[in-house]
Structure 1
Amino acid sequence: MGVVSRSVGNAFRNKVRSGAVVVILAVAIGLALAMLVANQAVGAKVDSLKASVGNNLTVNPAGSRGGLGGGNPLTTADATKAAAVAHVTGVNGTLTVRLANAATASTSGSAGGPADRGGAAGRFGSSGTTSLVSAVQPGVLGQRNNGTGSTGSPTGGTAGGTTQPTFTIPIQATGVSSPTTAAGTALKLTGGAQLSDFAANSTQALVGSTLAAKNSLKVGSTFTVQTRTMKVTGIFDAGDAFDNNGIYLPLAATQTLVDQAGQLSSLNVVVDSIENVAATQAALTTALGASNVDVTAGSNNLQSAITSLGTVQNISLIAFIASLVTAGLIVLLIMIMVVRERRREIGVLKAIGASNRTIGVQFTLEALVLVVLGTVVGAVVAAFSSNPIVSALVAGNTGSTVSAAGPVRGGGFGGGGFGGGGFTRTRGAFAGASQLIGTISTSVGWQTLVLGAVGILAIAAIGALIPALLTARVRPIEVLRGE
């Protein structure tokens, strides 16, 4: 116990120097911990991307994008064929349609019902009507793209001498067969509960937050789709105002309401492993017919994102090791200086019978006291600096270029994201690498602290061991002769 007490006391013999050493060690150790946290956070993000995006495929009708082009609707039979393909673990079919406001449709004569599949002057038709009023205004671009097809007045125009009504954005209704979105992930609800009744006569609906606010809806409120009264079971937040200007309905109910029995807009196919995505993509194309479907994957963007994150992981690992070595060198230099300053003290201790081992342990414990204090302060530094550091590393190693495949948005509605007529918006899997990565959050957990502390203490012990061994070279007679 005497050795321990002397070590602690000696660590604070020169308070100014000890304080400076602790500060310097805190910076090095804090950087080491921050890099360790960044490495773990990026690794977790890579695993998350592989699990959520890397093994997903999207099947759309061939030649159909954003309501433009041809293609025939997918069917439930296609979903059955897709489910039978090797390595496919799940198939989620959706039907996405557009619903016009009933009052606007009756006064303008457009979007009168399921039979209204097109519109004059370049307008996209809708599949039915709803009592809901869109929460998003078309603006100049929406009127220009969907009014007359020209670049003229944003308030409408003429086509063949006929005055065209002002364009209003319809509401996207997506029919799903489970409590998930088209991408196969659960919707983020801000109130209420997920869909639970998926029968053809179901009256359940999920409403986007901006659409709910526009129409003064809350959980339990009702609205109409065609002639059916629907009840709001939950309100969701999809991330932006446009995506929240939509509703989710049970798939069978959607097919019944718009008279599209057995039809699907797209299929989200889950593959058992990211390694089997390419082979499964080819197998799905063969099974469903290359002339009938387009099978796409986010593999290109995913690989770009994983490569970028791998670079960040390597940088953070190298920086972690470099910071540990730096901390070890700091301890080494400080303890060499301390040993030289205390040669007389060491000589006296050895003269009265102290062993080299006892003296070495004393100096090692003294170094560890300083390192422990530096680690405590460094952990605080890491807690505040890890998020900015990982953000800077990711931003510096990830391109912001969006791939040619995405993000895919609807051709009409002023660049909006409605996917009608056999197309479902698939933003997540086809966004650029930077959009795919999104935000990486870090946290300094006790596991990280333990792992980092073990590494730091090991380096510190090595740094203190060399000066401790120098004590064995101090001969009492030489010290006393010098006195």
Structure 2
Amino acid sequence: MSVVSRSVGNAFRNKIRTSAVVIILAVAIGLALSMLVANQAVASKVDSLKASVGNNLTVNPAGSRGGLGGGEPLTTAELTKASAVEHVTNVTGTLSVRFSNAAAETNTSTGGNGPAGGQGGPGGGFGASGTTSLESAVEPGSLGQRNNSNGSSGSSPDSGQGPVAAPAGFSIPIQATGVSTSTTATGAAINVTSGAQLTDFAAESKQALVGSTLATKNSLTVGSTFTVQDRTMTVTGIFDAGTEFDNNAIYLPLAATQTLTDQTDQLSSLTVTVDSIENMAATQTALTAALGADKVDVTSGSANLDSAITSLGSVQNISLIAFIASLVTAGLIVLLIMIMVVRERRREIGVLKAIGASNRTIGAQFVIEALVLVVMGSVVGAVVAAFSSNPIANALVAGNTSTSTTAVGVPGAGPGGAGPGGGFGGGEDFTRARGAFAGAEQLIGTVSTSLGWQTLVFGVAGILLIAALGALIPALLTAKVRPIEVLRGE
């Protein structure tokens, strides 16, 4: 009988013990594989976070965010200075504005809710920078009426009355963003689903991209026209920004937006791309010094990115330590089992030695027997890991991530924002502001795991190596005993 067949047969000599050993090994191996999968999933999450928000800085006027607060507009001079800062690879400027519906503004002005009515902007425009023929695709509802109401009572501060509501004909302003390239304020490409990107960025340009919900509301298709101020614009493309509010917006060439709103050379924000995540902090400090701390606020793509990466780094360390500990545990289990098996078969070892079996043959027999048990345990353990790795990974992440309060109702704009007169916006600036205040837990979200064949091969190879050592040590120690001593002892 060959060594292999004898070893396989010996592995099933005691079926009850074999079943118990396989179950115990399956738990240890399943935990080891789960930790290895969690470690790799967290590493992928870290790379994903760095790629998505790790290398962008946002420059806003000091004290201003999304059209609220104070400060002075940015200009191309600040853009040029920012471009010259070390480690900066690209700087793009945008101008966020709002356009009210021309017909609604006429009705509002007729009703006396213009500047005299105190409703916020010219002709009751609620901070709008101009007018458009487009009708908003978003109904104001209670929140829209509340956010765009007059902040005073209309009589005296002590009258006890609440804010004056927006007029009955009020409609949500159209958010607009002036861009110099076919990208959003965060530097990502605009997702044009129909038509083409902007190509004419001159001050006289008549091109525009329209959000999908706004286009549907106004029955616009590629090639349709609408007006902004006194200029007829042509729809070159329809874009999808992912939400109803963000799709109630338009993109215009930056120079054209500046001209139409009489904001020549003005910018709402700068998006600065840094060459590496490692240079983010130094570049943020350098930008603040170059542009002036009293003139600009420089923020990272997410204020909690460092916290999130640190938390994920802790999870990586924990999962790696747990993987090694599980491997060692599996090895100890095999070692103890094989010590017991070897002691039970001392007489058998003595007989094999007496008939000429070498130490290598005896050692190989017990190693193969142990590997049979480990292979069976690995099969069951892989099934365990497939179902347990995802909850284990997310439990580790949740346990090592501090939760911060997400700022709700942060004013923003976008595409677009509050015009010179103020008001509330949303979209990209809102997303940026929300991300800046969101806790690390919100930034990380969930971690998705996958037990691929590479991970399985790597994990099982490590387990088999530990198991082989655990089986070989007791077998070789016993095999060194002389046959006559073993048989005399029996």
Partner of 2:291: 288
Q: In the TM superposition, what is the alpha-carbon distance from 1:16 to its structure 2 partner?
A: 4.0
Indicate whether 1:357 and 2:360 are aligned: yes
Q: Residue 24 of structure 2 aligns to a residue in which SS?
A: helix
Deviations 1:365-415 (A, max 9, x none): 121122223223323322322222111111121122147xx6782179xxx
CA gap of 1:311–1:258, structure 2 versus 1, over 3 A, is: same
After the TM superposition, which residues 303-342 of structure 1 pair with which residues of structure 2 at under 5 Å, given as runs?
303-342=306-345
Q: In the TM superposition, what is the alpha-carbon distance from 1:434 to its structure 2 partner?
A: 1.7
Q: In the TM superposition, what is the alpha-carbon distance from 1:229 to its structure 2 partner?
A: 3.8
Partner of 2:188: 185
**Whole-angstrom distance in 2 between the partners of 1:35 and 1:420:** 48
Q: Check the 8 A contact 1:137/1:168 in 2, yes or no.
A: yes
Q: Residue 444 of structure 1 aligns to a residue in which SS?
A: coil
Tell me which moved more, 117-126 or 448-457.
117-126
Indicate whether 1:104 and 2:87 are aligned: no
**Whole-angstrom distance in 2 between the partners of 1:75 and 1:28:** 62
Letter in structure 2 aligned against 1:477: I
Deviations 1:226-251 (A, max 9, x none): 1434436343244x444444344443
Find the partner of 2:300 among 283, 297, 300.
297
Q: Residue 199 of structure 2 aligns to a residue in which SS?
A: coil
Partner of 1:399: 402
Tell me which moved more, 249-258 or 327-336.
249-258
Aligned length: 466
Let me know the Cα RMSD of the aligned residues: 3.6
**Whole-angstrom distance in 2 between the partners of 1:417 and 1:335:** 68
Letter in structure 1 aligned against 2:130: G
**Whole-angstrom distance in 2 between the partners of 1:353 and 1:461:** 24
Q: Gapped runs of 5+ residues in structure 2?
A: 155-160
Tell me which moved more, 61-70 or 349-358.
61-70
**Whole-angstrom distance in 1 between the partners of 2:122 and 2:163:** 10
**Whole-angstrom distance in 1 between the partners of 2:172 and 2:466:** 64
**Whole-angstrom distance in 2 between the partners of 1:322 and 1:435:** 31
TM-score normalised over the length of structure 2? 0.82
**Whole-angstrom distance in 2 between the partners of 1:228 and 1:25:** 74
**Whole-angstrom distance in 2 between the partners of 1:334 and 1:132:** 78
Letter in structure 2 aligned against 1:50: K
**Whole-angstrom distance in 1 between the partners of 2:14 and 2:331:** 20
CA gap of 1:15–1:60, structure 2 versus 1, over 3 A, is: same
Partner of 2:158: none
Q: Check the 8 A contact 1:178/1:195 in 2, yes or no.
A: no
Q: Residue 335 of structure 1 aligns to a residue in which SS?
A: helix
Partner of 2:171: 168
Q: In the TM superposition, what is the alpha-carbon distance from 1:135 to its structure 2 partner?
A: 4.1
**Whole-angstrom distance in 1 between the partners of 2:264 and 2:122:** 26
Indicate whether 1:35 and 2:35 are aligned: yes
Q: Residue 96 of structure 1 aligns to a residue in which SS?
A: strand
Q: Residue 439 of structure 1 aligns to a residue in which SS?
A: coil
Letter in structure 2 aligned against 1:93: G
Find the partner of 1:126 among 118, 125, 128.
128
After the TM superposition, which residues 64-143 of structure 1 pair with which residues of structure 2 at under 5 Å, given as runs?
64-109=64-109, 118-119=120-121, 124-143=126-145
Deviations 1:17-66 (A, max 9, x none): 33333332222212111111211222232233334433322111222223
Deviations 1:264-303 (A, max 9, x none): 2100112223443333333323332333322223575222
**Whole-angstrom distance in 1 between the partners of 2:17 and 2:271:** 64
Q: Residue 402 of structure 2 aligns to a residue in which SS?
A: coil
Partner of 2:257: 254
Partner of 1:57: 57
TM-score normalised over the length of structure 1? 0.83
Q: In the TM superposition, what is the alpha-carbon distance from 1:10 to its structure 2 partner?
A: 2.6
Partner of 1:228: 232
**Whole-angstrom distance in 2 between the partners of 1:151 and 1:28:** 69
Partner of 1:26: 26
Q: In the TM superposition, what is the alpha-carbon distance from 1:477 to its structure 2 partner?
A: 3.1
Partner of 2:419: 421
